[in-house]
Amino acid sequence: MKLRTTAVVQRRRSREWFVWGVALLVFSTAARADVKVPALFGDHMVLQQKSAIPVWGWADPGEAVTVTLGDRSASTKADAEGHWLVKLEGLRAGGPLELVIRGKNTIRISDVLV
C-alpha cells in the first residue's frame, strides 16, 4: 500500500511542477513584449517616393516608439491595446536606407529603397 501511495504522490508532484513551469513561462513572456511590426516590413523592401510612409506595429501599452528612415523620424506611444502607427514624410527616390524602429528593443530593416 505504501508503494502505491508514493507513486500517487510522485505523479501529483510532477503535475504541480508542470503547472508551475507553464505558469512561469507564460508570465515571464507576458512581462515584456518587444516592439513588433508585420511581416510586410523587411529587408530589401521598396517604398513609394514622395508619399507619406505609414509604419505600424505592436508594443506594450503606453510604450514610446520612434521610427527613423534616412533623415525622417517620427515618435508615438502605443495605445491601450498595444497598437501604434506613425507616418513619415515622403522621400525622393534613393537608397539604400535603413528603417529603424526603437522601443524597448530595436528593429533594423536594411536595404530599403524609395
Contact 88, 45 (CB under 8 A): no
Average pLDDT over residues 77-106: 96
Instruction: Read off the pLDDT band of 29 (50, 70, 90).
Output: very low
CB atoms within 10 A of CB 61: 14
Q: pTM score, two decimals? A: 0.71
3-state secondary structure (DSSP) of residue 3: helix
Is it the case that residue 44 has pLDDT exceeding 70? Answer: yes
